Amino acid sequence: MNALYAGVMTLPQIALIALAIGVLIGVGLSLLIVWAYRARAKVELETSTIVPDGMTDVLDSMDDAACVVDSSGLVLAGSHAATRFGIEVGATLENPELRQLVRSVRAVGGTKTETLRITRGGLSLDPRLVSARASVIGARMALVIIRDITEQERLDQMRRDFVANTSHELKTPVGAVSLLAEAIESAADDPAQVRIFAARISAEAGRLGQLTGRIMSLSRLQADDGLTDVDPVSIDEVIAASIEAHVVQADSAGVDLTRGGDRGAWVRGDAQILIEAIGNLVANAIVYSPRGSRVGVGVKADGGVVEIAVSDQGIGISESDRERIFERFYRADEARSRRTGGTGLGLSIVKHATQRHGGEVRLWSRPGRGSTFTVRLPQIDAPPIEDTGKKRKKKRARKAEKSAGARVRKGEKA
């Protein structure tokens, strides 16, 4: 009887067991519900097309073009710079290259970067080289960042071209000097031939020095830092110095140099750079003018702009050459330029010198009728006379300092 009683649970025990089972079932159901809610929230987050506020703030602060697109290519958010590539919020991403990049990164996940040439602002005539990076955000969105590297690529190409062209141009005089030195050695017993070869070596050395000097001038003008010696500059002095430096060249070529136009104009800048720029225009005009013709330098000051025009009655420049005439090492007449010792850098120096002074260069030319190069610079008021005197004293002091330094260096070498 006792054994039978022992095998039967009491009512309190059954209640406790039922309570424990109920608690376990309740906890399990609660955990299941929490997991279900979290899973649903995760799915909603992954499939949502609502851009988080933090992402929008980041896009607003970006200088590069960037946008967030959904699986259909709809632009959900974008940076201010994105509009430059025709990317508008609420519109479809139209560029086929960018759409393909988004599709490929969505297929494999992660991030992908490509260099593309795409149109900007929907204009087919304005292709830009860009580095585009796409990253997956959730299951339905992707972030696209577009960095315009067109200017960087252009500068890199300019540097490569400059090095290649400079190397090519330097080979000619260096090779000529080497050959002439060998010729002098072989003609040591013929004084007349030695004198001829020595004169040619001197000419090639002068050409090499001119080329090196112009390369250095152009490099300084293309440097990132601005003009270091900025003062009020008298255009009268610039014109006078430019003409005086080429009087002998003009007399030798049988060309008449004249000066006309307004007097008393002033600009702000570096006088030496402006003298070199205008001098290059005068030298070119003389080289390309026939004997008995005239080269004129005129000045016009009007409306806050000073125009310095250098005109010739030479062979003129064809329309196709006009588009490239300011490129480095470009020569419209290769044979004449080689014969006269031209470097192909003069007009490039003129362009960059003018731009450094906040101006521009304009060209008018007709084949057989001549050419006119016009340098336009911002005009300033004439400085007081005492300031002009101080400027001249400073200039003389700088010249004296340079001269003293040259003498010291010469003494050191000796």
Give yes or no: residues 136 and 177 share one domain: no
Q: At what angle do helices 346-356 and 191-221 cross, to 10 degrees?
A: 30
Give residue 241's pLDDT.
92
Residue 131 domain boundaries: 53-148
Give residue 409's pLDDT.
41
DSSP assignment of 15-74: HHHHHHHHHHHHHHHHHHHHHHHHHHHHHHHHH--PPPHHHHHHHHT-SSEEEEEETT-B
Percent of the chain clearing pLDDT 70 (strictly above): 73
> Is 33 contained in some domain?
yes
Q: Mean pLDDT: which of 30-44, 174-188, 219-233 is highest?
A: 174-188
Mean of all residue pLDDT scores within the chain: 78
More confident residue, 211 or 398: 211
Which residue, 366, 353, 340, is CA-closest to 288? Answer: 340
pLDDT digits (tens, 9 = 90+) for 38-47: 766 665 555 5
Question: Domain boundary residue among 99, 116, 148?
Answer: 148
Position 187 confidence tier, pLDDT thresholds 50, 70, 90? confident
Give yes or no: residues 42 and 85 share one domain: no
How many independent structural domains does the chain possess? Answer: 4
Give yes or no: residues 301 and 175 share one domain: no
> Is 98 contained in some domain?
yes
pLDDT digits (tens, 9 = 90+) for 253-303: 899 999 999 999 999 988 888 988 898 899 889 988 999 999 999 999 988
> Is 107 contained in some domain?
yes
Nearest 5°: phi and psi at 11?
Answer: -60, -40
Give yes or no: residues 170 and 110 share one domain: no
